[in-house]
Every structure is written in C-alpha cells, then in structure tokens.
Structure 1
Amino acid sequence: MTATTAPSLTERRPRVPTERLLDELVPPQHFARESFDTYRPDPSYPSQARTVERLRSVATEVERAGTGGGLFGFGRKARPAAVYLDGGFGVGKTHLLTSLVREVGRADSAYGTFVEFTNLVGALGFGPTVEALGGKRLVAIDEFELDDPGDTVLMSRLLRELADRDVSLAATSNTLPGSLGEGRFAAEDFLREIQALADRFEVLRVDGEDYRHRVTTTDLGGLPDDVVRASIAGRDGATLDEFGALLDHLGEIHPSRYRALLDDVELVGLTGVRPLGHQSTALRFVVLVDRLYDRDVPVLLGGSGIHGLFPAEMLAGGYRKKYYRALSRLGALAEQGRSLVA
C-alpha cells in the first residue's frame, strides 16, 4: 500500500441505528480499566481524596435509591443521589465519573458526554429518550456545558424528568486552567439553569493540575506532510486525510456518527493542518477529538499541528472550555502518534 491509497475518513458515511446509540452509553475505552482504586489523589489537593470517598458513598446511595427508608423497608422513600463534579482540566473528573458508573454497574447506568446526550434526544426525540434512560439507576453526564442556552434548557428538562423517576444523577464540568473562581461560577450557572433540581445537587470541587500538561504540550508544531504520508503508508488500521477535506466531511455527518466514523481505526494522519477559521467547524472538530480520545486513537498532525489551531478570539470566547480541553487531549494523542512511528 502507498500513501496515495491509504484509506480516508472522508470515504466513510456511517449509518448508526438507534440501538447502537443506546448501547454506546458506556464509559469510553480510555477509562475501561479505571476504578476508584486506580485513581491516585494528589496529596497537594485534599479535595481529590475527599471526592473519592464521597463518591464511594454515593455508589451505595444509588443502590438504595428508590427503596423504603424506614424500619423493615417502610417509610419515606430515599431521594435519588445527585452530585456535580466541578474542577479544571485533567484533574480526573472523568476518571471519577466512570468509576462511579463501574461501582453502580454498567447495566444499571448510562454514561455519555453532554453532547452525546443532546444528540441522543435529537435522534430519538425527547419522550423516547426519557423512557430509554428512565429505567436506569444512574445517568452520568460528562462535560456538562453552558455554552448553548437551548441545549442547556433541554438537558435541564431531561434531568428533571429523570430525577422525578428516581434516577440518580452525576455530572462534571470543566473550568479554565488556573482560573480558580470560574469553577464556582460555572457551578452556580449550572444550578441556576436547573432550578427545580438545585436543592438536590451536591457540588464537589476537584482541585488540581492537568496531568496531561505534565507529559505533553498544547502548542505542538506539526510534522512535515511528507513524513505523515510516509508514516501512514502500509499501516493496518491507519487513515490519511487532508485537514480541510476532513473538516468539510464532518459538516456532512451528524456528530452522533463520529464514533462510528472511527470504527477499526488505529491511527489517524492529517496533512495540511492549519488554524480553524469558523466557530461551527471548530466545534465539530472538537467532537471528533473527543471521540478519538475516547478510543485512544493516536494522531499524526502535519501542517502547523496544534500550534495556533484555535485562534486567540476563539480561546477567549464562550466556547473556550471546549477548545482548551481539545488542545489538551489532541496534544496527548499527537505525542502518542509521534512515539508510535518514531
């Protein structure tokens, strides 16, 4: 196989049945082996250890939710648990959330990102989504976002409906690196948006540093395009795309299909990587980065690489949390890609 005949993601137009959307509401492969026992709290940030212990007890509460609270099971029904993990990038919130899911049991839980749940409502409709999730003990929402008012109101309504069905809830959010106050502000906004549930949620602050920044960079330059092409050539499970062509292709596929777009892909090569010029294009690329990270798919970036990928005005705008998360994750995947072909 030569570089010119390497498979391309733009050749794929996956069709995803509804059943698959529901079956994929599980923790990503990246966290498949993680648990509370594998989480290593940083002693410099006591809130990490406190959160682990609290979530262990939450797992027990989830098991009791919906049962009688009095003697011999009679009495007032226990209120379903509802916790909200608030903290910066890379402090292990997703690790903790997936560990909670593991403790409760995957069959009794539904796990997904905020975007995946909004996509699910778009694919199934609101009522069927409530019915599909209403039978779970726990619904875990990673990366709850406040960027889009419409989506936020939609998710707030969904959470109310699920809580009314005694489904326990757990969510996480991101804050800007080094911005101590913004985490609390995000939590307050979240609670204000779901006023009917505000008294049910317990906010758990998870302080710490981004562990990904300790081993990688979010300003990594690109490899020469010829090196990317040569590295992809002949590799099973590798794909090769020109960056602009891939961005155009993503605009023609619903984000709920991005996971299927990466089926059997083990390495992604991108040539001609350059700064993103449009917000809608950048947001679609962020979703793809999240799906690559979920599956631990290394990437090889040509062109300018991560350097300047999101222009300064994007990093200062309303979607900055998403962009910083994408840079952190893409940097880690790019380092993996370079190590793989070194």
Structure 2
Amino acid sequence: MTKKILIIRTSSLGDLVHMLPAVSDIARHVPGAQIDWIVEENFAEIPSWHPAVHEVIPVAHRRWRKHWWSAETRKARAALRKNLDARRYDIVLDMQALMKSVWLVRQTHGTRHGLDRRSAREPLASFFYDVKHTVNFWQPAVKRQRELAAAALGYTYDGEPDFGLHGITDGVQVQPYAVIMPSASRDDKLWPQEAWHKVFGRLHEHGLDLKLLSGSPSETERATQLVAGNSRALVLPRMDLSNVAKVLAGARIMVGLDSGLTHLSAGLGRPTIGIYKASTPVRTPLEGPAYTASLGERGNEPSAETVLSAVDQALAFDESAHADFPGGNAPTKAVGPPFD
C-alpha cells in the first residue's frame, strides 16, 4: 500500500544535503513510500538527485518576498495553493520548524508532523503541527533530520548516512585536481589569503591542479585575485548545481569554507576539508562516506598548518581506500576546533 509523504525543507543548500540521508532512511524503512518534497526553486535539483523522491514541488519564497503583493507574485502563490489543495498526504513532515515553512504546512492536507517547541529553532512553529516530536537541538544536523523522520514515521534508523547520490557519482573517474571553495555567504567566514596560498602549494606538491568555485561576480573576482599568476589554477564559470556536483565528484579532494557546496562534496563521497571561522561544526559538521575534517570554530579559525595536516591525511586515506577497497573510500572524520 502506498504511503504518501510530503517533506517540507525549502533551503538552504547545505541543509538540503543534510536532509538526503533521512530520505534514504524513509525509503528503506517505509514500504510503499511515495515521497514528494517542497523546495526553494534555486535548489530544486538537489531533491531530484535522490532516486526515492517521487516529485519535487518548487516554491519561490525568496523571490516572492521581494514583491509579495505584486500581481505576478499573488498569481504564483495562488497557483501553489491550488496545487497543494489538490493533494492528499498521509504524512506532512516539516523538517525546518520555521514560520516560513509553517506557511506551507498550513496549505497542505494530511497529518502534520514537526518539532515540539523545545526542539524547534522558532518555537511558535510547533503550534501548527498535529503531532510534535522531541529531537535534541545540539547534535549534528544529519542525525537530527534522521531522528525526526524516524519519529514521524515510526521506525528506528541505523547505519551510516546514505545520501542517495549514486546517480551522480557512479561511473565518474577521479582526476588529479582539487576543488577549492574560498567564498561564503558572509565575509566573516573568509580565510586569510596567505593561508590559502600555503594550502595551494601543498596541493600542488601532491600533483594536483586547482579548480575554484564561485557563485557571484564578487566571488569570481575574489577567486581570480587569490590565484593570480598561478598557471595550475582555474576559476570555473558559474554553473548549475548538477554541473558543480559533477566537478566535485571527480575531484581528488575538496577544501572549502563552511558552505553548502563543501557539504555537498562530503555527501558525494569525496575527501573534504571544511574551514569554520564564523560558525560551529558542532551542529553542522561535514558528513559523508569518505574522509572529512571540520576544522575551526566560531571565533577560532584553523591555522594553515592544521589544514595542511588534514590535506595530507585526506589524500593518504583516499589513496589507501582505493588500494584496499576499489571503488570506495575509508570513512574518517575529524570534527572540532583546531588545537594550535
């Protein structure tokens, strides 16, 4: 018997990546699960990558809020409301517990599940759920999402997180390059230029070229300045998420600031090093089946030497994994502040 499930998790990129293992759990533990997912339009590719997702329902809240009462926005919101009104679900699962997600929950038909007021980031959201669940706030986001889905659907999950991204990684040949993400959503997350240059030098010593990601003209300018005069570095043009994912899947290693693309790299099973400076890895560490290192802490950035050590470890583990486990990677994690 088909069990129709609607997931509401609209943004942001890293949070959506963290949601993917919960989808794998649902597919594994709920026979006949038909999973639909409401997501912000700019990130609609991410749930579409998971083979267990039946339908992706895009929402444009970020775009609409700039012109909420314009005729075009009212028409688009009415179309979404009509779309949701025509659907009936057994379970509506709000994985965000924010008032912006509650706005969507209230337009759905089905038993509405979400976090209780002590577990939710915005406690007021909990008043709009039919069934409320307690999930410890201070734990990794992937685990938190898996626990909420398990509580709502009545199963016990186990095993390492499965991100369901085999459709991207299968058949990809790893190439001798490193992906670098030197930009982030906020300037207070940026890492010193001198530290980056030390990392670039070490990656070159390992025989790797560099591919730098950027998502805006200002990020492209920053990345271009960072590798000025480096003939072994290329700043990639802005690409859609699927093409970025393919670049990440083919990399020997990824080193990036705490950003959604860094978390995507880890989820894709590539050795990944995350540099935390204005955020904490306690709740959002890198998670994935290969080597990951979540270095630094809010107000305590990792030194270049700490990152260089992680680069050497990541590449050594990756070489060992390919030698001992063809087609796989040795799962190793380092999480927490640097000890410099």
Indicate whether the TM-score tops 0.5: no
User: Normalising to structure 2: TM-score of the pair?
Assistant: 0.39
- Which is helix-richer, 1 or 2? 1
User: Normalising to structure 1: TM-score of the pair?
Assistant: 0.38
